[in-house]
Structure 1
Amino acid sequence: MTINRLPETIGYNLAYLGVGVGLATTSRGLTSLGSNWDLLLVGFLAAMLSKMQASVADVIHDRDLDRENPEKSRIPDALDRLSIKGSMTILAAELIGGMSLWGWISVSMHAPVYLGFGAATCLLGFVYTYPPRIKERGLFNHLTTTAVDVGYVAVFFFIAGGSIVGGQEIAVLAVVFLYAFGYHVAHQAADTYYDRIYGISTFTQMLGVRRSVLFAGVSTALAALINIYYGLFLAGGMLLLFTLCYSYIALRIRNTEPKVQSDRVSRWFSIGLWATVMNSSMVLDLALL
């Protein structure tokens, strides 16, 4: 499970499912939530398999880099125990399984677009690491990664029976985009020093670690303000709290060496925990509407 990064990703992806379903239940165009729980489960499994194959591809390609990072060294160690061949087998199984499930959804809903979406996300997940290597494409990297996350929320919304995309739906998706963009940037900020010494060029290298963390905080604050405007006060308050957390981290790494900055961000920021709490607050707020 280590090379799939399942422990740190399953929580916030499950919460993405909750956001999509919650948004559908508040939609004026809800049609068939009660009869679609099986397809929602299939959709979640398809999404996880699509993401996990991308994680395995990343681990295989960047294993030498990850060995240099004390917070990630356990991942290539797990790869060594499985072997490259074994890991490639897992990647192939996840890719085939994910695409099969996307196909099942497309047939069940008479909508080929789901298969196309699944194929696109699998491809983007693979080329995140392999040429053209989106990971090193600066801002485009985070825009793509975040757009895929928001795409999954939208897919869950439509599978759950949502059909009308109005102002509230667009606002919620915009909120998810903003705070998810923030935690993806912060997650990369933790790797900035190790990426630099290994010769990898990233968006957070251009900004610097501290400014990247502040950037994540600003993005999260904007999401909080939109939530408050639309009456999602619980999630808005939670996002403001995480904005303060980003600000605290930025303060604590001020005037420190690059390695210390990356290590401290890695120690204090956990995408698995932070993203799960942010997404879950959105689920709870949508349930209260």
Structure 2
Amino acid sequence: MQFVRTFKPIHLEFLLKIQEVGQLQVAAHLLNMTQPAASRMLKDIEERCGTTLFKRTPKGMEPTPSGEVFIKHARIVLAGLDSLEKEIVALATGMAGEVRVGSVTGPAIGVLIPAMEILRERAPNISVTIDVAPSVDLVRGLDEGKFDFVMARVPPTHDSRDLHVHPARNEQVRLLVNEVHPLLSHSNVTLEELSHYPWIMQERGSPIREAVETSFYAAGLPPPERVVNSSSLLIALALLKGTDMIAPLSEEVTGLMTSEGLGAKLRVINVAVPMTVSPYFIIRDRSRELTPAATLFYEQLLAEI
């Protein structure tokens, strides 16, 4: 039964049109064919199949049992071809495909997610994967091809000449505490007041911790001494509950943690001295071209910042 492999989409469309209108002449006209050409095409198809596909009745041309089977499968084949065309076009234009992005925590919440929401409205068939990690891990993952691009800081171990680095934003540090923390009743809290309380901070060398310690050093004060070291946001939230600990986090994260929708009983201290983290960037590997889908997301991200 290899004859089925010789048929072209026009043959299938032709038979579906005959079944739809019931008249060979009308089907030929709708497909911009002459009636003799249509008659020859139908005869050729039936000869290949070895059976009659349509019978002529007073009501017009009606499919035979073999014709019904042929038409059923013709619909499936043409629908599959239509789907194939749409998927190929979507992939070529970036309206479908997979995008893998890495980010440090603050930009993931404040920039990536809003950009992704807009992107999914424009191109709902794009699959997006977002990993959150320290900058060193993100840039290493970029080197290994795990990400299309990342939002991070360039580690001193990497040569920025191998990377395409686009400026993004600075991060502002906010101090998150339990809703009954004593310092919430104070305005313009000083660093000296903050030093009397225990802290939960990321490991030494992390950008947010460096911003906190730099603020203390600039004021001529030693940095906080009672510190629990952890980069886990869940650990920080657990320790804040029912204690007087202070957790320095990015403005985007504290905004999320204090939003009413989460029902969190957390607040931000009004600090007199601003704490600013070194800027992060949108980083790509110069040696690799972005896919159409990744390009679409990248451009949406640039618009967001």
TM-score (norm 1): 0.22
Higher RCO (C-alpha 8 Å, min separation 6): 1
TM-score (norm 2): 0.21
Which structure has the larger Rg over C-alpha atoms?
Answer: 2
